[in-house]
Amino acid sequence: MNNLLNAENSGTPLIIIEKSAYPEWFESQEKHSQTWLSNTQFKGRGLSLIPNNQGELSQVLFVVADASDYFACGDLIKQLPQGQYLLQAESEHVEAISFGWLVGAYQFDRYISDKSEKALATLAINNVKGNIKIVANAIKFAQATALTRDLINTPAADMMPEDIAQASLSLAEQFGGEVKQIIGDDLLVQNYPTIHAVGRASIHTPRLVDLTWGDSKNPQVTLVGKGVCFDSGGLDMKPAAGMRNMKKDMGGAAHVLGLAQLIMAFNLPINLRVLIPAVENAVSSNALRPGDVVTTRKGLTVEIHNTDAEGRLVLCDALAEAENDEPELIIDFATLTGAMRVALGTELAGFFSTNDQVAADITAAGLKNSDPVWRMPLHKPYDDLFNSTIADMTNCPTQPFGGAITAALYLQRFVEKTDWVHFDVMAFNVRHLSGRPLGGESFGIRAVFDYLETRFK
């Protein structure tokens, strides 16, 4: 990835303009270029490879609707012939174009035998003040995006709790962090009963992964990521269609590791803690049953209404632990509910927050860098839907309406004092979009990082 973008002053000119600017640009071109565009019936959108009088490629034109969209140029790198191209675009768009160029190069080819894909083009942006930093930053963002995608795309057979732990260890080693783990029955000894209850039926031992990094004197931010490596639904088993893509149910863990990589790569002045409850929700003779009552780390008792509402169970123990440190902010990511996908579709990340200013600032950050997020309400009257006759609460209501809200309300009971943000994300592209192939995807981590960078710089 590092060799696909540089700050140099050579290459075939690559002109990227917005559609509204095309008529004026066309009129400014030499006659042979105008003739080429007219004869090829170029409509003022998309890509045109423009030759000179000798038939050699002289310049490339790419017309987009909005050059500030970070994904507008996401497919461009795979459309161009091999070679180096020198970007010519408005300066305010260089950052977005650079990011889109790099994420468009992504391909998950771990299991593909034939990796003889054509060599990709290289983008040069003029070696002037500021552009070297833009290149370095774009690479960091693209690498974090790729990490998140890779973790989600990896099949469950190769991405179980121990594999999430290894990914965390690798990240900590790269940036000078530390990882501790609480594994198997030690979860009961150290009072993480709901993580153990969900994961105990799998031969892949459940665990809590605890990554720390940074100066303890800095403000603490704790990230919590749902790490359900495969979700069969448990004894309330999912149908085949609902189970097909459940390798992505550890998408929350992938998101917090991608976000953690950004925080560490940019060396934000943060005392970072990352908690990942990593389990497989499997079926066995000792699987959690509907009707069981589990006592959580916080001490609240929970009657299990449905074993497929397991993500909130593993998260609630991790969130209770996260608050013990009294951090400045707790942020969790989870592939928690289908209800959020019904509400917002698959391409917009929904989130909840107990702090209005934090929510507004994260939303604003996402709008600036094409990582849009949408705040949902923590509607407290729905708390009554968790009433149980034999325990403090159930793990989900008996009725299906407002499922994303009720899931968030369940989690909120375990974060009483600290400002808290909860993301309920799809973590998967179900159609190809510019710079976003089918499969694992990051949602909201660039928005959150920009917010953290602004707040704690």
Query: How many secondary structure helices (H) and strands (E) does the chain include?
Result: 14, 20
Catalytically annotated residue among 19, 78, 238, 375: 238
Q: What are phi and psi of 135, to 5 degrees?
A: -60, -50
Instruction: Confirm whether 238 is a catalytic residue.
Output: yes
Which residues of the chain does CATH 3.40.630.10 include?
Answer: 159-456
Q: What are phi and psi of 47, to 5 degrees?
A: -110, 140
Tens of pLDDT along 4-25? 999 999 999 999 999 999 999 9
Q: What are phi and psi of 146, to 5 degrees?
A: -65, -40
Strand pairing category for 329-334 and 220-225:
parallel
The predicted structure's pLDDT at residue 127: 83
User: With contact defined as beta carbons under 8 Å apart, do 449 and 264 qualify?
Assistant: no
The predicted structure's pLDDT at residue 76: 97
Q: How far apart are CA 378 and CA 182, in angstroms?
A: 32
Q: Which residue has the tokens 């309406």?
A: 401
Per CATH, the number for 159-456 is 3.40.630.10
Instruction: Confirm whether 297 is a catalytic residue.
Output: no
The predicted structure's pLDDT at residue 441: 98
Domain at 2-139, CATH homologous superfamily:
Leucine Aminopeptidase, subunit E, domain 1 (3.40.220.10)
Tens of pLDDT along 231-281? 999 999 999 999 999 999 999 999 999 999 999 999 999 999 999 999 999
The predicted structure's pLDDT at residue 118: 67
The predicted structure's pLDDT at residue 205: 98
User: With contact defined as beta carbons under 8 Å apart, do 235 and 421 qualify?
Assistant: no
Structure tokens at 318: 């991790």
The predicted structure's pLDDT at residue 376: 98
Catalytically annotated residue among 200, 207, 312, 455: 312
The predicted structure's pLDDT at residue 416: 93
Non-local CB neighbours of 244 within 8 Å, separated by 6+ positions: none
Residue 63 DSSP SS3: strand
Residue 103 DSSP SS3: helix
Where the chain has pLDDT below 70, the residues are 116-118
For the entire predicted model, the pTM comes to 0.97
Which residues of the chain does CATH 3.40.220.10 include?
Answer: 2-139
